[in-house]
Chains A and B, each alone.
Chain A
């Protein structure tokens, strides 16, 4: 009666089904000219395709690369120079190719391909291909040498104590950062491709023995079935990993920090690195994780616990405070202590707008200014000054907005910055709660809050309740939810995300 569909990638409503079966591959021809013509046709007038035609032991040959993707010095030293120095003419083209592959080239990354698709993909990734007329395959050496950003401190997750390293846009470097932290053969990097045209490298990172097999199959299947043509960022993949496409809360986390990702992976989660973006995805992501940060684990437990509680309070304040103020001011002024009531009445009589409209207006203005400051960083200071002057002072003095409302806005804004991962849902829901408070008073706020709670409880992250371990309650896991227990206790927990109560992925197969 109450069964529900366990949404897998292929069964999701509204999900675009990918065409069945892969497109037929084009084999590499033994005729070099044909291959070069094919490549030229595929890349069209792209100027970055570099084909260097040479003669090797009397045979026509070519070195194919993409300009800007390879290191010119390595190309010269490790590929061109060794092969041009090959002497003798007794070998067949196939023998020559085998000789180059086995005895000449010094590149660590050596791949042999037989289809044009593989070839194009690899040369676009910074490989140099060697083709010889009369051989129906090519060998490629990895001599990547493209320009890239160095490893720097992640801007979106600043930590007081702990590593200053953040992911970069290059997937291989990111993988090395993970490997350096988890030196175990159980750490698996499973490379996949996403985007039919972009052929973006996607890597599933997980720990064998800790990750749930069901979960892994599910994630793998979803990425394999991605209907996207181009994947330029992990954000493209993220919606396809979520169950409820209309949910305001995300069940996929992002992180820029390798240490955070390692921590999550060690708890049985799967990290997804996408080439070209420093933001890794983490699945599954539970609601309580919004209140956890890497810093919590480096600080003393009492202080980390204090910060946790602070974050929960900040969440409630940033979500409900404006709505509560509007509700109390509009419908329940009896709740103000007498002296505060005087201040409220003072402000209310001097402003022309209804409280609801006033709250909507000021929060709307704030969001505009915040967005302006964010998108146009150089003007950030100017925006702040204008914001402070316009909202903070001029609007109050002109009698457009009451002083208490400005205080409420300030409190709300500051509180919402404490929880960067929840900023988006909070900023939207805040408007909803202002409307609810204005229309239905505290009843509206409470109804809205309970309905919101119910909707959060309804989210299922690939078989794990989004609200776990709070509801369904896993008592042991609470040591890292409301408080952050000492490491001496935490390590005993051996927490695995799939083992929380209510999970369909439990190792022991137990149902709640």
Chain B
């Protein structure tokens, strides 16, 4: 009898719990898939919130691509207050756990340090560290407003672009976790820059370099070549096309197959000398001159590829370390690991000390495949 009484009591207890009696919490919330943050002058910041339109898709299992998400605009003194004012605007709170990307405007990163802008997302337990970050040349809502038939949720399009862009050497694929690691003082942050090209249905997102930060503050940009140099050093490139403009004959397009970078350092007095060794393997993707496939020419092509990569890597180092005085590559961290005596007690000054260090760039490139077409002309009479 006592057991039955207990069972009934437990059952009633369950029924009394609101979540057992009411619809799920997500019904009353807006499922955010991407957030754009723009500067709104005195108003603080303006948010563009890309969210799943649950009510619109209700009952419609077809044509979800057209109406799965909507873009909301809201403003507030801070990101947090803007998010709160969104509640008063829609009557529903935001749900950040499905958020995939955060896009910041150029104005916003120039106005506020990155930590301050992203603080809401760093603290919010709903926000995931795997969220992708990007900087937009125009307003973030232009980037978030683009719809594509390939993806039901538009932010998936942006995330795929950033992720694949990094693999192919076009853009940095920075996540919130990378930014968090940067804020912990290990190195400086960098974010990819994107812009919208075209209008209406023809609009698309284009990669447009990299924004570089020093201690969270925006210091400058890297162009496409410098970005690729940065990605070479970061060991992030898995693929990529390199077009070699030749003095004689048409250009040759090489496709990178593999690239590995090792950074070593040696103590040289009070500073260090870094050796950045890039090993790359490539294959000929396109060329119209059969002569380039001769053994001697292949060696020449390899040398040209080495030069090209070295140029990009050097440009990236010079721009970030020498011009901007920031350490996006974690050179300081490497000194800390290998030669802690050099940096101990001077941790705050090391980005400046990095300018005094020497950087040797060694590239070892090899063309290991010429493709299926040998370029030979069988009927040629010499």
Contacts and interface: CB of A to CB of B under 8 A. Distances in A.
Top-5 shortest CB links A-B: A334-B97, A349-B58, A439-B17, A330-B24, A345-B54
A263 interface: no
A77 to B, nearest CB: 60
A377 interface: no
A356 B27 contact: no
A435 B20 contact: yes
Contacts of B20: 354, 356-357, 435, 438-439
Contacts of B294: none
Interface in A343-363: 343, 345-346, 348-350, 354-357
Given A331-B24, A333-B26, A354-B21, A341 B52 contact: yes
B370 interface: no
Contacts of A339: 152-153
B11 interface: yes
Interface string B252-288: 0000000000000000000000000000000000000
A277 B270 CA distance: 93
A439 B57 contact: no
B55 A435 contact: no
Interface string B8-42: 00010010010111111111000101000000000
Contact of B58 (A334, A346, A356, A440): A346
Contacts of A331: 19, 24-25
Q: Is the interface of A mostly helix, strand, loop or mixed?
A: helix
Most buried by B among A329, A331, A345: A345
Interface string A425-436: 000000000011
A342 B24 contact: no
Nearest to A352: B23
Contacts of A349: 27, 54-55, 57-59
A355 B11 CA distance: 17
B381 interface: no
Interface residues of B, number: 33
Interface of B: 3, 11, 14, 17, 19-27, 31, 33, 52, 54-55, 57-61, 64, 68, 95, 97-98, 100, 126, 152-153, 156
A423 B365 CA distance: 65
Nearest to A336: B98
Interface residues of A, number: 26
A406 to B, nearest CB: 14
Interface in A301-355: 329-331, 333-334, 338-339, 341-343, 345-346, 348-350, 354-355
Contacts of B23: 348, 354-355
A306 to B, nearest CB: 35
B100 to A, nearest CB: 8
13 contacts: A246-B3, A330-B19, A331-B25, A333-B98, A334-B98, A338-B33, A345-B58, A348-B26, A349-B27, A355-B23, A436-B14, A438-B17, A439-B17
A357 B23 CA distance: 9
B223 to A, nearest CB: 33
Contacts of A333: 24-26, 31, 95, 97-98
A260 to B, nearest CB: 34
Contact of B14 (A338, A341, A438): A438
B68 A342 contact: yes
Most buried by A among B58, B100, B156: B58
Contacts of A439: 14, 17, 19-20
B19 A356 contact: yes
B54 to A, nearest CB: 4
B27 A338 contact: no
Contacts of B26: 329, 333, 345, 348
Given A330-B19, A333-B26, A350 B64 contact: no
A345 B152 CA distance: 14
Nearest to B59: A350
A343 B68 CA distance: 11
A338 B24 contact: no
B6 to A, nearest CB: 11
Most buried by A among B3, B20, B156: B20
